[in-house]
């Protein structure tokens, strides 16, 4: 029951400089509405921080941020942007207990194989303080598979995604929003933003 896909990690290792330099200049639409739910100075864990762009934005607003990435080459890119070392950690290595006020995962948990997703989401739930918030963005296409660049995606439906999170822990809030956007590989794709609050 693997919680990571080696081919996908290898892709990001080889593409790290180009990937970090790509993409729109602004932050994802999920982030600011999520941050509005947190108190000033809240401690936020970021899973799959990529270039460090979102972490820099959160820090500029006064949040305390612990950015992480499962690929050393990507963590180095984020570290260069942030001016400090970034922790290398795969999702299945998260072991914190009730430590964070928020956990952000922008287009990162969508690479977790379906067989290992509930375990990873349980780790996210455990890492949150009672009443803490989590937001994640997933692509949805009706069934797991790979894009034309060879990256694995779990591609859950909105209903499936809610089910995975329900199996991972008790939440007092579960909200979803769908939309369309352009990815690194080009072309439009449909996505789901899920925002949750840990019960307690």
- pTM > 0.75: yes
In the block, residue with structure tokens 């287009």: 107
Percentages helix, strand, coil for the chain, rounded to the nearest 5?
35, 30, 35
Q: What's the burial of 2, exposed, middle or buried (CB within 10 Å: 0-12/13-18/19+)?
A: exposed
| CA-based nearest residue to 75, from 91, 87, 66 | 87
Q: Which two tokens stand for residue 172?
A: 């007092």
What 8-state DSSP symbol labels residue 93?
G
pLDDT tens-digit profile, the chain (200 residues): 478 999 999 999 999 988 888 754 556 788 999 999 999 999 999 999 999 999 999 999 999 999 999 999 999 999 999 999 999 999 999 999 999 999 999 999 999 999 999 999 999 999 999 999 999 999 998 789 999 999 999 999 999 999 999 999 999 999 999 987 655 555 567 899 999 999 98
Predicted pLDDT at 19: 83
Write down the H helix ranges in the chain.
6-21, 31-35, 53-60, 72-82, 114-127, 158-168
Q: Are 98 and 79 in contact (CB under 8 A)?
A: no
57 phi and psi angles, rounded to 5 deg: -65, -45
Angstrom distance (rounded) from CA 116 to CA 79:
28
**CA angle, residues 58, 31, 175, in degrees to nearest 5:** 140
| Fold entry, domain 6-198 | Rossmann fold (3.40.50)
CB 55 within 8 A of CB 45: no
- Quick one: which of 184, 183, 162, 110 has its CA closest to 140? 110
């Amino acid at each position: 029951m693997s919680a990571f896909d080696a081919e996908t990690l290898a892709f990001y290792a080889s593409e790290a400089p180009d990937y970090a330099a790509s993409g729109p200049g602004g932050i994802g639409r999920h982030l600011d509405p999520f941050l509005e739910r947190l108190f000033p100075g809240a401690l936020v864990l970021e899973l799959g921080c990529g270039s460090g762009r979102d972490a820099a934005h959160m820090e500029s607003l006064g949040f305390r941020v612990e950015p992480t990435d499962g690929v050393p080459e990507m963590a180095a890119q984020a570290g260069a942007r942030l001016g400090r070392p970034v922790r290398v950690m795969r999702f299945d290595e998260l072991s914190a207990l009730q430590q964070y006020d928020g956990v952000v995962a922008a287009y990162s948990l969508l690479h977790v194989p379906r067989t290992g997703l509930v375990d990873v989401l349980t780790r996210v739930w455990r890492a949150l303080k009672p009443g803490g918030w989590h937001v994640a963005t997933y692509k949805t296409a009706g069934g797991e598979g790979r894009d034309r660049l060879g990256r694995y995606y779990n591609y859950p439906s909105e209903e499936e995604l809610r089910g995975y999170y329900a199996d991972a822990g008790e939440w007092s809030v579960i909200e979803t929003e769908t939309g369309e956007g352009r990815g690194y590989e080009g072309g439009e794709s449909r996505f789901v933003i899920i925002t949750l609050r840990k019960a307690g």
